[in-house]
Structure 1
Amino acid sequence: MQTLIKYIVLFCLLLCALVGSAQDTTPDKLKDSVKVNDSIQYAKGKVTSASTQFPMENVHVVNLNQVIGTITNKQGEFKIQAEVNDTLHFSFLGYKSFKVKVTGDWLKYQNTSIELTELAYALEEVVVKSHNLTGYLEIDAKYVPTNTNAGRYSISGLPKGYEAGKKGPNTIGQILGAVFNPADLLYNVFGKKPKQMRKLRKMKKDHEIRDLLASKFDRELLTTLLEVDKQELEEVLIHCNYSKSFIQTANDLQILDAISSCYEEYKVLKRKKA
Structure 2
Amino acid sequence: MRKAVYLLLFLLISGLAWSQESQIISGKVLNDANDLPLENVNIVNLNQVIGTTTNKSGEFNVKAAVNDTLYFSYLGFKSIRVRVTNDWLKYGDIKVKMTELGIALEEVVVKPVQLTGYVEVDAKTIPIYDNYRYRIAGLGTGYEGGNKSPSAVNKVLSAVFNPADFLYNIFGKRPKQMKKLRQMKEDDEIRNLLSTKYDRETLMAVLQLERIDIDEILNNCSYSADFIRSASDLQILDAISECYDEYRVLNRRKDKG
**TM-score scaled by length of structure 1:** 0.74
Q: What is the Cα deviation at residue 271 of structure 1?
A: 1.9
| Partner SS for 1:169 | helix
Report 1:114-129 matches (<5 A). Answer: 114-129=96-111
| 1:129 Cα offset (Å) | 3.2
Task: For residue 153 of structure 1, report the CA deviation from its aligned partner.
Answer: 8.5
Residues 213-232 of structure 1 aligned to structure 2 (within 5 Å)? 213-232=194-213
In structure 1, stretches of 5+ residues that fail to align are 1-34, 179-183
Hey, what does 1:262 align to over in structure 2?
Answer: 243
How much does 1:39 deviate? 4.0
Match of 1:84 in 2: 66
After TM superposition, the runs of 4+ consecutive aligned structure 1 residues lying more than 4 A away are 136-141, 159-165
- In 2 relative to 1, CA 162–195 (structure 1 residues): closer, same or farther, beyond 3 Å? closer
Number of matched pairs:
226
User: What SS class does the counterpart of residue 146 from structure 1 fall into?
Assistant: coil
TM-superposed deviation, 1:111: 2.3
Match for residue 152 of structure 2 among 146, 151, 166: 166
Counterpart residue type for residue 156 of structure 2? P
Offset at 1:268? 1.5
Counterparts in 2 of 1:140 and 1:211: CA distance versus 1, 3 Å: farther
Offset of 1:272 from its aligned partner? Answer: 2.2
Partner AA of 2:91 in structure 1: Y
C-alpha change, 1:133 and 1:81, in structure 2 (3 Å) is: same
Task: Give, in whole Å, the separation in 1 of the partners of 2:97 and 2:30.
Answer: 5
2:192 to 201, 207, 211: 211
Matching residue within 222, 233, 247 for 2:228: 247
CA separation in 1, counterparts of 2:246 and 2:29? 40
Contact 2:134 2:156 in 1 (8 A): no
Q: Which of 121, 126, 147 is the aligned partner of 2:129?
A: 147
- Kept in 2, the 8 Å contact 1:215–1:252? The answer is yes
The residue that corresponds to 1:233 in the other structure is 214
Q: 1:177 deviation in Å?
A: 4.1
Determine if the alignment matches structure 1 residue 55 to structure 2 residue 2.
no
Q: Structure 2: how far apart are the matches of 1:187 and 1:58? A: 38
CA distance in 1, matches of 2:92, 2:164: 50
Distance 1:177 1:267, change over 3 A: closer
Report sequence identity in percent.
50
TM-score (norm 2): 0.79
Cα-to-partner distance string for 1:90-147 (whole Å, 9 max, x where unaligned): 111111111111111011111210111111112324334353345x596896332112
Alignment of 1:99 with 2:81, yes or no, is: yes
Q: How many Å separate the matches in 2 of 1:76 and 1:248?
A: 32
Partners of 1:246 and 1:137 in 2: CA distance: 32
Question: Which has more radius of gyration?
Answer: 1
- Counterpart pick for 1:187 among 168, 173, 178: 168
